[in-house]
C-alpha cells in the first residue's frame, strides 16, 4: 500500500525527460557564479579580478554566519565581481570567470580518507559545510546547519525525499536510476552523523523502477524504501513526514520538533561525492524541459552557466515561451526571459506556454481550494482579504502556515491568483511584524 497525506492535487505529470539519461553539459567559456545560492547570509568574495582559479577553488564564504562557501566549477581567470539580480529577485554579488578549459584541480581538493566510523559527527558536518552543500530540492537551506540542529534535537527519523512530485522534473529520478550507490552512500554518512540505526527513502509510486533499483542496491535492512502515492505536494517536508511517521508538525515548528530530519536524495549524493572525491559542490543535474523546448534533456551543469546556453544546447524553442520557470511549475520562480544562471537549487529550467489567465480570476465560492490544501487552510479567504488589503484578517485565518505549494491555485476553477495574494499578504505581515 502506498502512503500519503490528506488533500493535494494531481497535476499532469509531463515527465517528458524520464527516459533521458543524464548528459554532461560542456562547461561554457564564461561563467557568472552567484555568491548566494542558499538560504542565509551571502558568501563574501575571497577572490579578486585577475586572480587565477582552479576547479574547486573557494570563491566566497562567510564561515561565521549561516552560509556555505561557493566554489569554482572551472579553472580560469576572474574577470569581474558585480552585483546582479538573481532568480529570486535578490541583489547578489556574482563572480565572473573566463574558462581556460585546462580543468586544473585546486590543490585543496582531496578525498576524505579517514574511515567514516572513526570520524566524529562534528568533523563530518564541517566537511559538508566546506563542500558548500545545501538542500538541492529547491529550498537551499545549508545542510550542515540542518544536521547540526538535528544533532542537538531528539531526532529518531531520517527520511530521504526522493518524491520529486513537481510536474516536468526528472533530475532526481534519473539520479536514482543512474547512481543509486551515491545516494545510499550519502544516507549512510548522515546516519553515522546522527547516530541513527536506520533511514527511510520516500519515493512516489510513479518511480517504481527507481524504487526497485534502490532496494536491489541496498545491501542491508537498515535503509527502507517506502512508496508514497503520486500526489502533489507529496514532496513537501510536512506531508512526507506525516506519510511516513503519522507525525504532524505544529504551526511554526520544524521537522526536528517532531524528531524527524528530511534530506533530498540529490543532497545525499552530493555529500557522498564530496567525501569520496573531495570535490565540493560545483554542478548539479537540471531538467531542461517544457512544451516550448525542442529536445528536453537532463543535464549535469556547472553552476554559473546561463539559462540561454542550456536552451540552445537543447535545440532552442519550438515556439516563443510565455514564461521561463526555474524549479518546477508549481513552486518555481517564473520569469519572462532566459537571463539567469544555474545555481545549487536549480532543479529544473522550463519554457512554457501560459495555460490560464490568472490576472482576471474570480472566486465562485466552490470551496475546492480548501478541500485540497494539505495544510487545512482556507485560501479563498486569504485572497479575499489580501485583495482589499486586510492582511490582519488573513493572519487570523493563519496565512503564515501556508507552504505556498500552489495546490489551491491549480484546482481553482475561477483562476484566482491565490498564491500571489498569499505571498503579498505574507510579505506585508512579515514587514510589519513587531518582531522585525
Contact positions vs ligand SF4 (CB under 6 A): 363-369, 373, 375, 377, 379-380, 383, 402-408, 411-414, 416, 418-419, 422
- Residue 296's φ and ψ, nearest 5 degrees, are -60, 140
Is 231 in a helix, a strand, or coil? coil
Closer residue to ligand SF4 in complex, CB, 271/375: 375
Closer residue to ligand SF4 in complex, CB, 236/309: 236
Distance of closest approach, residue 380 Cβ to ligand SF4, in angstroms:
4
Distance of closest approach, residue 72 Cβ to ligand SF4, in angstroms:
37
Closer residue to ligand SF4 in complex, CB, 284/410: 410
254: exposed, middle or buried (Cβ count in 10 Å: 0-12, 13-18, 19+): middle
Rounded distance between C-alpha atoms, residue 143 and residue 132, angstroms:
9
Distance of closest approach, residue 57 Cβ to ligand SF4, in angstroms:
40
Distance of closest approach, residue 397 Cβ to ligand SF4, in angstroms:
10
Rounded distance between C-alpha atoms, residue 296 and residue 409, angstroms:
26
Distance of closest approach, residue 231 Cβ to ligand SF4, in angstroms:
13
Q: What is the CA radius of gyration of the chain?
A: 21
Distance of closest approach, residue 330 Cβ to ligand SF4, in angstroms:
9
User: Which pairs count as long-range contacts for 219-225, CB under 8 Å and 24+ apart, including other chains?
Assistant: 222/191, 222/197, 222/198, 223/184, 223/187, 223/188, 223/198, 223/199, 224/198, 224/199, 224/200, 225/200, 225/201
Across the beta sheet with 52-53, what order do the strands follow? 30-34, 91-99, 76-85, 52-53
**CB distance 282 to 209 below 8 Å:** no
Distance of closest approach, residue 409 Cβ to ligand SF4, in angstroms:
7
Rounded distance between C-alpha atoms, residue 190 and residue 197, angstroms:
11
Closer residue to ligand SF4 in complex, CB, 173/231: 231
Return the C-alpha torsion angle 285, 290, 295, 296, nearest 10: 20
Q: In this structure, what DSSP letter does residue 106 have?
A: P
Closer residue to ligand SF4 in complex, CB, 81/386: 386
Distance of closest approach, residue 402 Cβ to ligand SF4, in angstroms:
3
Rounded distance between C-alpha atoms, residue 398 and residue 408, angstroms:
15
- Cell reading at 176: 536514482
Closer residue to ligand SF4 in complex, CB, 161/239: 239
Closer residue to ligand SF4 in complex, CB, 313/421: 421
b/e code 142-156 from CB counts within 10 Å (16+ = b): bbbbbbbebbebebe
- Cell reading at 74: 572551472
Distance of closest approach, residue 405 Cβ to ligand SF4, in angstroms:
4
Distance of closest approach, residue 413 Cβ to ligand SF4, in angstroms:
6
Spacing of C-alpha 4 from chain mean position: 21
Non-local (6+) Cβ contacts of 433 within 8 A are: none
Closer residue to ligand SF4 in complex, CB, 131/375: 375
Closer residue to ligand SF4 in complex, CB, 197/250: 250
Closer residue to ligand SF4 in complex, CB, 194/383: 383
- Establish how many alpha carbons lie within 13 A of residue 25's alpha carbon, considering only the half-sphere containing its beta carbon: 31
- Cell reading at 122: 562534528
Closer residue to ligand SF4 in complex, CB, 56/379: 379
Is 181 in a helix, a strand, or coil? helix
Distance of closest approach, residue 301 Cβ to ligand SF4, in angstroms:
29
Amino acid at each position: 500500500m502506498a502512503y500519503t497525506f490528506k488533500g493535494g492535487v494531481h497535476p499532469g505529470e509531463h515527465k517528458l525527460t524520464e527516459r533521458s539519461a543524464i548528459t554532461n553539459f560542456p562547461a561554457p567559456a564564461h561563467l557568472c557564479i552567484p555568491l548566494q545560492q542558499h538560504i542565509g547570509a551571502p558568501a563574501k568574495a575571497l577572490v579578486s579580478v585577475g586572480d587565477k582559479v582552479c576547479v574547486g577553488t573557494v570563491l566566497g564564504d562567510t564561515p561565521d554566519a549561516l552560509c556555505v562557501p561557493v566554489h569554482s566549477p572551472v579553472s580560469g581567470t576572474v574577470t569581474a565581481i558585480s552585483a546582479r539580480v538573481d532568480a529570486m529577485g535578490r541583489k547578489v554579488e556574482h563572480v565572473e570567470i573566463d574558462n581556460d578549459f585546462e580543468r586544473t584541480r585546486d590543490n585543496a581538493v582531496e578525498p576524505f580518507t579517514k574511515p567514516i566510523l572513526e570520524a566524529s559527527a562534528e568533523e563530518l558536518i564541517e566537511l559538508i559545510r566546506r563542500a558548500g552543500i545545501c538542500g538541492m530540492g529547491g529550498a537551499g537551506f545549508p545542510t550542515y546547519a540542518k544536521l547540526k540542529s538535528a544533532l542537538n534535537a531528539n531526532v529518531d527519523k531520517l527520511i530521504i525525499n526522493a518524491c520529486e512530485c513537481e510536474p516536468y522534473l526528472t533530475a532526481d529520478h534519473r539520479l536514482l536510476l543512474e547512481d543509486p550507490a551515491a545516494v545510499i552512500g550519502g544516507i549512510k554518512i548522515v546516519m553515522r552523523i546522527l547516530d541513527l540505526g536506520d533511514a527511510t527513502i520516500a519515493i512516489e509510486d510513479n518511480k517504481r523502477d527507481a524504487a526497485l533499483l534502490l532496494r536491489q542496491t541496498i545491501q542491508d535492512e537498515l535503509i527502507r524504501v517506502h512508496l508514497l502515492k503520486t500526489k502533489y505536494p507529496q514532496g513537501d517536508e510536512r506531508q512526507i513526514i506525516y506519510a511516513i511517521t503519522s507525525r504532524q508538525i505544529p504551526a511554526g515548528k520544524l521537522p526536528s520538533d517532531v524528531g524527524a530530519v528530511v534530506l533530498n536524495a540529490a543532497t545525499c549524493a552530493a555529500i557522498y561525492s564530496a567525501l569520496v572525491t573531495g570535490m565540493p559542490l560545483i554542478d548539479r543535474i537540471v531538467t531542461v524541459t517544457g512544451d516550448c523546448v525542442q529536445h528536453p534533456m537532463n543535464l549535469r551543469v556547472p553552476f554559473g552557466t546561463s539559462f540561454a546556453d542550456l536552451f540552445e544546447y537543447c535545440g532552442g524553442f519550438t515556439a516563443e515561451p510565455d514564461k521561463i520557470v526555474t524549479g518546477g511549475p508549481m513552486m518555481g520562480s517564473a520569469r519572462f526571459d532566459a537571463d539567469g544562471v544555474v545555481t545549487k537549487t536549480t532543479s529544473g529550467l522550463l519554457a512554457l506556454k501560459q495555460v490560464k489567465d490568472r490576472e482576471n480570476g474570480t472566486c465562485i465560492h466552490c470551496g475546492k481550494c480548501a478541500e485540497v490544501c494539505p495544510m487545512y487552510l482556507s485560501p479563498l479567504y486569504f485572497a479575499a482579504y489580501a485583495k482589499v488589503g486586510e492582511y490582519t484578517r488573513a493572519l487570523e485565518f493563519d496565512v503564515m502556515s501556508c507552504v505556498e505549494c500552489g495546490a489551491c491555485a491549480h484546482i481553482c476553477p475561477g483562476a484566482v491568483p491565490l498564491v500571489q495574494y498569499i505571498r503579498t499578504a505574507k510579505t506585508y505581515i512579515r514587514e510589519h511584524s513587531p518582531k522585525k
